[in-house]
Amino acid sequence: MNVTTYLPRFASMALAGASLLAVTAAEAKEITVWCWDPNFNVAIMKEAGARYTKTHPDVTFNIVDFAKADVEQKLQTGLSSGTADALPDIVLIEDYGAQKYLQSFPGAFAPLSGTVDYSGFAPYKVELMTLEGQVYGMPFDSGVTGLYYRKDYLEQAGFKPEDMQGITWDRFIEIGKQVEAKTGKKMMGLDPTDAGLVRIIMQSAGQWYFDKDGKPNITGNAALKASLETINKIMAANIYKPAAGWSDWVGTFTSGDVASVITGVWITGTVKAQPDQSGKWGVAPIPALSIDGATHASNLGGSSWYVLESSAEKAEAIDFLNEVYAKDVDFYQTILQDRGAVGSLLAARGGAAYGEADAFFGGEKVWQNFSDWLAKVPSVNYGVFTNEADTAVTAQLPALTQGTPVDEVLKAIDAEVSAQIQ
């Protein structure tokens, strides 16, 4: 072998390779994303990133998975400190908190109006991220709620799927008692430090902690009162397994210890993460209160993507969100089937996946159902103090279960909320 002939060729190849690397290194952009829930937001963002990288090979994604509380607290810390280095390019914000961030950190988020065509999204979602005529953020998922139940446990207790349709909360508690008597399983998991269920029930009857003008709406709030009474009945009937914190609560149903879960549609990915439970789950509309304005539809959570104004990759981040989340209807079909993500892009509803049966839920057309319920969710004003009101509610739950009259509990909640929102 003649080394001298090969050597220059090898050297030039190496040189070419090195310069190629240098060029791509200079052009490559990495977009950092903060979000929570590995079975849902994280997985969906990875899918979205993969789609964008296919057409834009120079852009890569670094998707960081935190707990939701950690994302919120890290974001708030970073924004308050004023050092942008510690912040991501794109961050996921739950709808309850959107106005809080927009109002208290003006200039921190990049306005997307002008780039994104917001007419294609559910209007309530766009309204949540509008401040002084500017729209921030990319609308993402809806938190339309459903009652997920274990068909096998309910069958053992003598109930058919028809028995779960259109029930009231009193009936739900009745069923829960029988399920426990026949199967020894509790009906649901309940974390007394989380007011999520209170929020679901309250919104299903068209009310919120705050009225349309953002003023506290506690003592005269019939829906809040009825929802506290319902929680009290559930506690008194002892049809729940207590959970301390989110992961503990998730454990109540992934372990098969409880017969039902009432929460937002985004839990589907977590429910489906247990392949051995395939075919055992069904989905029904949530139970309704027996008061005026009561419906079987509600919302819990739901979130949207926001681009940081300080981001070095701001242009790429906005373009990425616009390309995938505002235009790619096919993307929404994939994340619906894989993760149960009901997006707020209206055009996506016409896609094939919404009409398909899901084998995990025994061949039910669950997506069609969620889509129908979504249209019926009563719209409310979340205001900017949901965290404060939530804390006040959870603070009073033990008093309620120890027999304090519900009107007094409402007064105590009102006093705490009024003191907190200055």
Partner 1 sequence: MALARRGGIGRYYNVNGWLFVAPALGLIALFMVYPILWSLWMSFQSGRGMMLKFAGFANIVRLWNDPVFIKALTNTLTYFVVQVPIMILLALILASLLNNPKLVGRGFFRTAIFLPCVTSLVAYSVLFKGMFAHDGIVNATLEAIGIIGEPIPWLTHPFWAKVLVILAITWRWTGYNMIFYLAAMQNIDKSIYEVARIDGVPAWARFTHITVPLLKPVILFTTVISTIGTIQLFDEVYNLTEGKGGPSNATLTLSLYIYNLTFRFMPNFGYAATVSYVIVVLVALLACVQFFAARERDR
Q: Report whether 296 contacts 377 (CB < 8 A).
A: no
Q: Report whether 386 contacts 212 (CB < 8 A).
A: no
Q: In terms of CB distance, is 322 or 394 closer to partner 1?
A: 394
β-pairing, 59-66 vs 29-36, is parallel
Q: Is 244 in the site for partner 1 (CB under 8 A)?
A: yes
Q: In terms of CB distance, is 168 or 401 closer to partner 1?
A: 401
Residues in the interface with partner 1 (CB under 8 A) total 39
β-pairing, 240-242 vs 258-264, is unpaired
Q: Is 259 in the site for partner 1 (CB under 8 A)?
A: no
Return the structure tokens found at 356: 């398909």
Q: Report whether 38 contacts 65 (CB < 8 A).
A: yes
Which residues, 155 to 214, sit near partner 1 by CB under 8 A? 192-193
Q: Is 391 in the site for partner 1 (CB under 8 A)?
A: yes
CB of 212 to partner 1, least distance (A): 19
Which residues, 80 to 109, sit near partner 1 by CB under 8 A? 80, 100, 103-106
Q: In terms of CB distance, is 49 or 383 closer to partner 1?
A: 383
Q: Report whether 364 contacts 283 (CB < 8 A).
A: yes
CB of 12 to partner 1, least distance (A): 54
Q: Is 355 in the site for partner 1 (CB under 8 A)?
A: no
Q: Is 397 in the site for partner 1 (CB under 8 A)?
A: yes
Q: Report whether 329 contacts 345 (CB < 8 A).
A: yes
CB of 210 to partner 1, least distance (A): 13
Which range binds partner 1 by CB under 8 A, 22-30, 69-77, 134-142, 265-273? Answer: 69-77
Return the structure tokens found at 111: 């306005």
CB of 26 to partner 1, least distance (A): 35
DSSP conformation letters of 146-188:
EEEEEHHHHHHTT--GGGGTT-BHHHHHHHHHHHHHHH--EEE
Using CA atoms, how far residue 337 sits from 81, 260, 317, 369, in Å, is 40, 21, 25, 14
Q: Which residues contribute to the site for partner 1 (CB under 8 A)?
A: 69, 72-73, 76-77, 79-80, 100, 103-106, 192-193, 241-246, 248, 384-385, 387-388, 391, 394-399, 412, 415-416, 419-422
